[in-house]
Structure 1
Amino acid sequence: MFNTWPRTLPAAVALATLASAALAQDLSFNLPAGPLAGTLNAIAGQSGQIISLEPSLVQGKQAPAVIGQMPAEQAMQKALSGSGLQLRVTGQGNFSVEPVTDSSAALQLGATNIVERSLGATTEGSGSYAARAVTIGKGTHTLKEIPQSVTVMTRKQMDDQDLTDLKDAANKTTGLVGVQGVGKGMILTSRGFQIDDWQYDGVPIPRNTYALGNWATQDLIFFDRMEILRGASGLLQGTGSPGGAINLVRKRGQNAPTVTVTGKAGSWDHYGLQLDAGGPLNTSGTVRGRFVADEDQSHSFIDYEWSKTHSLYGALDFDLRDDTTLGLAVSQSNAESRPMIRGLPRYADGRSLDVPRSTYTGARWNHADIDVTTVYTDLEHRFNDDWAAKVGAVRMTETNKAKNQRLQSIGDAIEADGSGVQYADFVTDFDSTKLGLDMNLTGHFEALSMEQEVMLGGNYSRYTSDDRFARTFNDSSDTIFGIDHDRPEISYEGLLNTPGGRATPSKYEIRQKGLYGSWRVKPIEPLTLVLGSRVSWYDYSYKSATQQAFSNVAIAEPESTADENGEVTPYGGIIYDLSREWAVYASYTDVFEPQTVRGINGSVLKPVIGSNYEVGLKGELLDGRVNTSLAVFRYDQKNRALNDLASGFACDGWYCSIAAGKVRSQGIEAEVSGEVLTGLQLFAGYTYNTTKYLKDPENEGKVFSTWTPKHMLRVWGDYQFSGDWNRVSTGLGFTTQTHTLGYEHTFEVPGYTVWSARLGYQLTKEIGLALNANNLFDKHYYTAGYNQLNGNNNYGDPRNVMFTVKYTPTF
Structure 2
Amino acid sequence: MSRVYRNPSLPSRSRLALALQTVLLGGAMLAATQPFSLASAAPTSAQRSFDVPASDLEASLNRFAQQANISLPYDPSLVRNKQAPALKGRFDVAQGLQNLLKGSGLTATEGANGVWILYPLSSDGAQLQLQATSVTGLGLGGTTEGSNSYTTGETSTATKLPLSLRETPQSVTVITRQQMTDQGLGSIAQVLAQTPGITVMHDDSERYNFYSRGFTLDNFQYDGVPTSDFTTNTNGLGMRDMAIYDRVEVVRGATGLMSGVGSPSGAVNLVRKRPTKEFQGYASGSGGSWDRYRTELDLSGPLTENGAVRGRMVAAREEGRSFIDRYSSDKDVFYGIAEADLSDDTTAYAGIDYQRINSNGSSFGQLPLYYSDGSRTHFSRSMNPAAKWAYADSESTKYFAGVEQRFDNDWLLKVEASHWKGNTEQLQGNLVGWGPFPDKATGQAQFMSGTKTFEIKTDTLDAYATGPFELLGRTHELVVGINVSDGRTDYLAMNADDLTVDYENWNNDAPRPTDLSRGLKQKYKTKESAAYGALRFKPTDDLSVILGTRVVNYDRKGTMTYNAAQTTPTTDNSKKPEK
Q: How does 1:539-554 map to 2 (within 5 A)?
A: 539-547=555-563, 554=564
Structure-2 change in CA distance of 1:440 and 1:54 (3 Å):
closer
CA distance in 1, matches of 2:171, 2:156: 14
Partner of 1:495, secondary structure, is coil
Partner of 2:390: 366
Q: How does 1:95-244 map to 2 (within 5 A)?
A: 99-100=133-134, 112=137, 120-136=141-157, 137-181=159-203, 184-209=206-231, 217-244=239-266
Give 1:256 deviation, angstroms: 0.9
Structure 1 residue 495 corresponds to structure 2 residue 515: yes
Partner of 1:558, secondary structure, is strand
Give 1:351 deviation, angstroms: 6.9
CA contact (8 A) 1:320 1:326 kept: yes
Aligned residue identity for 2:568: P
Structure-2 change in CA distance of 1:135 and 1:84 (3 Å):
farther
Partner of 1:529: 545
Q: Of residues 480, 484, 505 in structure 1, which corresponds to 2:521? A: 505
Partner of 1:157, secondary structure, is helix
Moved more, 139-148 or 347-356: 347-356
CA contact (8 A) 2:315 2:333 kept: yes
Partner of 2:109: none
Partner of 1:130, secondary structure, is coil
Partner of 1:206, secondary structure, is coil
CA distance in 2, matches of 1:508, 1:62: 60
Q: How does 1:55-454 map to 2 (within 5 A)?
A: 99-100=133-134, 112=137, 120-136=141-157, 137-181=159-203, 184-209=206-231, 217-338=239-360, 339-347=362-370, 353-409=377-433, 411-417=435-441, 419=443, 421-454=445-478
Note the residue ranges of structure 1 that are not aligned, 5 or more in a row.
9-32, 42-48, 64-81, 86-95, 102-107, 548-553, 571-811
Give 1:140 deviation, angstroms: 1.8
Give 1:352 deviation, angstroms: 5.4
Aligned residue identity for 2:341: D
Partner of 2:121: none
Aligned residue identity for 1:357: R
Aligned residue identity for 2:363: M
Partner of 2:570: 560
Give 1:2 deviation, angstroms: 4.4
Partner of 1:710: none
CA distance in 2, matches of 1:210, 1:541: 21
Give 1:561 deviation, angstroms: 1.4
CA RMSD across the alignment? 3.3
Partner of 2:489: 465
Structure-2 change in CA distance of 1:61 and 1:557 (3 Å):
farther
Aligned residue identity for 1:229: V
Structure-2 change in CA distance of 1:62 and 1:128 (3 Å):
farther
Deviations 1:602-651 (A, max 9, x none): xxxxxxxxxxxxxxxxxxxxxxxxxxxxxxxxxxxxxxxxxxxxxxxxxx
Aligned residue identity for 1:346: L
Aligned residue identity for 2:272: R
Give 1:53 deviation, angstroms: 5.9
CA contact (8 A) 1:389 1:441 kept: yes
Give 1:98 deviation, angstroms: 5.3
Partner of 2:29: 51
Give 1:384 deviation, angstroms: 2.3
Deviations 1:4-30 (A, max 9, x none): 7x999xxxxxxxxxxxxxxxxxxxxxx
Structure-2 change in CA distance of 1:400 and 1:183 (3 Å):
farther
CA contact (8 A) 2:368 2:434 kept: no
Structure-2 change in CA distance of 1:352 and 1:154 (3 Å):
farther
Q: How does 1:622-633 map to 2 (within 5 A)?
A: none
Partner of 1:390, secondary structure, is strand
Partner of 1:538: 554
CA distance in 2, matches of 1:486, 1:327: 51
Give 1:212 deviation, angstroms: 7.1
Give 1:421 deviation, angstroms: 1.5
Partner of 1:772: none
CA distance in 2, matches of 1:36, 1:260: 29
Moved more, 261-270 or 333-342: 333-342
CA distance in 2, matches of 1:224, 1:460: 25
CA contact (8 A) 1:238 1:534 kept: no
Structure-2 change in CA distance of 1:56 and 1:529 (3 Å):
closer
Partner of 2:227, secondary structure, is strand
Structure-2 change in CA distance of 1:98 and 1:370 (3 Å):
farther
Partner of 2:530, secondary structure, is strand
Give 1:564 deviation, angstroms: 0.4
Partner of 1:801: none
CA contact (8 A) 1:466 1:508 kept: yes
Give 1:54 deviation, angstroms: 11
CA distance in 1, matches of 2:292, 2:236: 25
Structure-2 change in CA distance of 1:486 and 1:366 (3 Å):
same
Q: How does 1:724-803 map to 2 (within 5 A)?
A: none
CA distance in 2, matches of 1:151, 1:181: 25
Aligned residue identity for 1:389: L
Give 1:177 deviation, angstroms: 1.7
Aligned residues: 483
Give 1:334 deviation, angstroms: 1.2
Q: How does 1:689-704 map to 2 (within 5 A)?
A: none
CA distance in 2, matches of 1:529, 1:391: 27
Note the residue ranges of structure 2 that are not aligned, 5 or more in a row.
8-14, 37-64, 74-111, 116-129
Structure-2 change in CA distance of 1:100 and 1:352 (3 Å):
farther
CA distance in 2, matches of 1:419, 1:517: 63
The higher relative CO (CA closer than 8 Å, separation ≥ 6) is in 1
Partner of 1:517: 533
Moved more, 270-279 or 211-220: 211-220
Q: How does 1:604-753 map to 2 (within 5 A)?
A: none
Q: TM-score, normalised by structure 2?
A: 0.76
Aligned residue identity for 1:555: A
Aligned residue identity for 1:363: A
CA contact (8 A) 1:440 1:456 kept: yes
CA contact (8 A) 2:363 2:384 kept: yes
CA contact (8 A) 2:467 2:477 kept: yes
